[in-house]
Amino acid sequence: MIRRRYVYRGVVQGVGFRPTVWRVATAMELAGFVRNDDRGVTVELEGEDEAVAAFPERLRRGLPALARIESLEVVTLPPRHERGFRVAETAGARRGDALVPADAALCAACRAELEDPADRRHRHPFTNCTACGPRYTVVRALPYDRARTSMACFPPCPRCAAEYADPQSRRFHAEPIACPECGPRVWLVEGGAGTRAGGDAALARARGLLAEGALVAVKGLGGFQLLCRADREASVARLRDVKRRAARPFAVMARDLATVHRLVALRPADADLLTGSAAPILLAPRRAGAPVAEAVAPGLGDLGVMLPTTPLHVELFRDAPYAALVATSGNRGDEPICTGNREARLRLRGLADAFLLHDRDIVRRVDDSVVRAVPDGHAVVRRSRGYVPRGLPLPAATGQAILALGGHLQTTACVALGATAFPSQHVGDLDTEEARGFLAEVALGLEGFLGVEALVLVHDLHPDYPSGWLARRLAERRGARTLAVQHHLAHAAAVLAEHDAFPAPGSAAAALVLDGTGYGMDGTAWGGELLVVDGELRWRRAGGLACLPLVGGERAVREPWRVLAAALSAAAPGIDWGALPVAAHVSADHFAQVAALAARGRWPLASGAGRVFEACGALLGLGPSNGYEGELAARLETLAAGAAPAEPWPEVGLQGTRIPGAALLAAAAQRVLAGEAHAAVARGLHRTLARLVVQLAARVLPDLPRSLGLGGGCLVNRLLREDLSCELAAAGWTPLLPQAVPAGDGGLSFGQAVLGALAEARGTRPEYRGGLNHRPGDPGG
């Protein structure tokens, strides 16, 4: 007889781990106990030596779907001659190493109960178990027990209490356990009159209003959503108007997987993702004739689709005359998503015709995650519900808690703790005071959840980003240190760390970062950079896109035809502007004025690949301006996707260590004038840029390992990912593509945390060693 203690760390609380341990241990006739504590889950077993030794493998084979073991500590103890196996009370009152899983979508077993008229949870909108339901959005502190969640104010009824205490039940210690007798209540408030309906009547009335074309605000898992029929142009147009969201695409929630198949083209892996516990919004190619209003995603080939994530959403589709609803964040513009009932009725007044409310508090604002179907699998675009607070491994452990605060757009925060980085949920763009306050709320909330206060704060190099202001303010208040990290270096670090490819001391690695804008080391706006970084955190700019002038400054980012005019005035000065498709949106006189301004004066310079894609979209007549970040680039990809694969354009070549964006746009214009189809031109631009990248890598990286990290917001582009992967592989390179970490600025804080952790672990700081600069005399030239 022997006794051993097994300490499991990872996502092992709130996922049915203890009942699984109980079932395995009792089946193996082992004595002892299992309990939650501040380290994770501790199991002590006593029995025959072979059985005790075999337990970890038996447990591993039967792990609950949401559980994830990150480490196992084994200690041999003297036998106590204990009899029987029990579930002990939780020990410890601090977080320690314990983690809580992300919120999980409704599981199949709970869905079956929801549909069963004989079940006591039939049509109950808050059904959950250890395999599904709210977690991160309801927990206030760790260890994860009901008393530390927003369900603490709902005492369980006798039948729920019996399930909660029964190790053989799948609701054993399911902290949000609820039923119609003791759980949260739902009600509907309609219009300014405050008309109320409760329970089933509230759900029926909400379905009726949606069927009629109304806008209904629904309290979801991590915040309010605004819903309307996806097949009604008038309803979607009204939603755009009240949300002040002119063109940015909406997501669609479908009744079931069969409906999703009618809307978009799905691969088996896509269906698995939609029906899994994370259940994100999936961006997939829209089917021709899909029964969805054109205003849902104007000008785009992809549609964002999702399935009902909670039983409340399931009930909104029950016997309804619609099969798909637009589901968008419950907010105005760039404000944070609403979470409280009073807050929603105040801030969403005038947006919604009715409010479907309940009395389970949302502790943390968490928006829906977004994932795109790509040739290499799936790429996370927005990492939020279903993924947060899941940690990501760091290339080096840090003994000091580090808080990284991202950039300005698509912002997230991230805490590095030990060997793990914990990215926050999506915050968004920091253009409003409310959004900046939300970043502080998220950053401090994440620290509080993890039980730390960081004394190293990492932020973007840009001097005027609000995220940097917050970092400096917190550092001053705490007596902490700050670390400013160049934007594209953080992108490079993120993708290299995701693939466990960040260089060790004495070695180096390379990454290509393609995005719109990031503050450069030479005073220009970078965005098409081939970077080399070594294990000592020294880095240089080996090559990249040539700069283009932004005539009008920030206005040129909103109006990409200005970038096009500057490029053509330099690379094709005699071209017939009036014969190009862009002339339908911009007069020849206006073009001539901007072209003349580009030739004189000292305009801001930008090397962003996003600027080139957007300018090509303007060239091909897709519009004169961006209604949202990257709109014309997204429309260009949609246009290109309709063309056959193209060969690279032979008339465009490297200019030293630079990829000439102006020459690319000039070649595109000449091909349009020669009668080439617009879709073929769009497709050719993608392929030519990919070929030039490979040629550049071969020219400037002859001595480095033949793998290349690929990061930045442009890597959300499905065609660009495919072309870069194919061209690099054909030339003998291994492309490292972002998948689990957002390619865009949503992944920036993770890259900052990686660099902060490496700086602490290796006793150094990132050091720029120069390289390709655009202005003589600038630093590092």
Residue 13 DSSP symbol? S
pLDDT of residue 771: 78
pLDDT of residue 780: 30
Lowest mean pLDDT among 329-333, 436-440, 732-736: 329-333
Instruction: Please say whether the beta carbons of 493 and 533 come within 8 A.
Output: yes
Q: Which two tokens stand for residue 766?
A: 């990132």
Q: What is the mean pLDDT of residues 358-371?
A: 97
Instruction: Please say whether the beta carbons of 216 and 206 come within 8 A.
Output: yes
Q: What is the mean pLDDT of residues 464-491?
A: 97
pLDDT digits (tens, 9 = 90+) for 188-221: 999 766 778 999 999 999 999 999 999 999 999 9
Among 370, 286, 276, CA closest to 328: 370
Length of the chain: 781
pLDDT at position 643 over 60: yes
pLDDT at position 779 over 70: no
pLDDT at position 777 over 70: no
- Angstrom distance (rounded) from CA 232 to CA 136: 34
Instruction: Please say whether the beta carbons of 229 and 221 come within 8 A.
Output: no
pLDDT at position 647 over 60: yes
The more confidently predicted of residues 101 and 249 is 249
- Angstrom distance (rounded) from CA 278 to CA 104: 6
Q: What is the mean pLDDT of residues 755-761?
A: 97
pLDDT of residue 192: 67
Q: What is the mean pLDDT of residues 141-165?
A: 92
pLDDT at position 402 over 60: yes
The count of C-alpha atoms lying within 13 angstroms of the C-alpha of 592, restricted to the half-sphere facing its C-beta, is 6
Among 531, 542, 529, CA closest to 503: 531
pLDDT of residue 778: 37
Residue 432 exposed, middle or buried by CB count within 10 Å (0-12, 13-18, 19+): middle
* Confidence class for position 772, pLDDT limits 50, 70, 90: low
pLDDT of residue 98: 58
Q: Is the dihedral of CA 411, 336, 626, 370 positive or negative?
A: positive
Among 527, 664, 490, CA closest to 607: 527
3-state SS track over 17-75: HHHHHHHHHHHCCCEEEEEEECCEEEEEEEECHHHHHHHHHHHHHCCCCCCEEEEEEEE
Instruction: Please say whether the beta carbons of 629 and 647 come within 8 A.
Output: no
pLDDT at position 129 over 70: yes
pLDDT of residue 195: 74
pLDDT at position 93 over 80: no
pLDDT of residue 193: 63
Q: What is the mean pLDDT of residues 396-409?
A: 96
- Angstrom distance (rounded) from CA 367 to CA 335: 12
pLDDT digits (tens, 9 = 90+) for 458-474: 999 999 999 999 999 99
Residue 5 DSSP symbol? E
pLDDT digits (tens, 9 = 90+) for 540-565: 999 999 999 999 999 999 999 999 99
CA distances from 238 to 206, 320, 330 (A): 18, 21, 15
Angle between helices 631-641 and 718-730 (to 10 degrees): 60
pLDDT of residue 309: 96
Instruction: Please say whether the beta carbons of 429 and 458 come within 8 A.
Output: no
Q: Which two tokens stand for residue 222?
A: 């991590």
SS3 (DSSP) at 294? helix
pTM above threshold 0.75: yes
**Mean pLDDT rounded to a whole number for the chain:** 94
Report which residue type is found at 528.
Answer: G
Instruction: Please say whether the beta carbons of 76 and 2 come within 8 A.
Output: yes
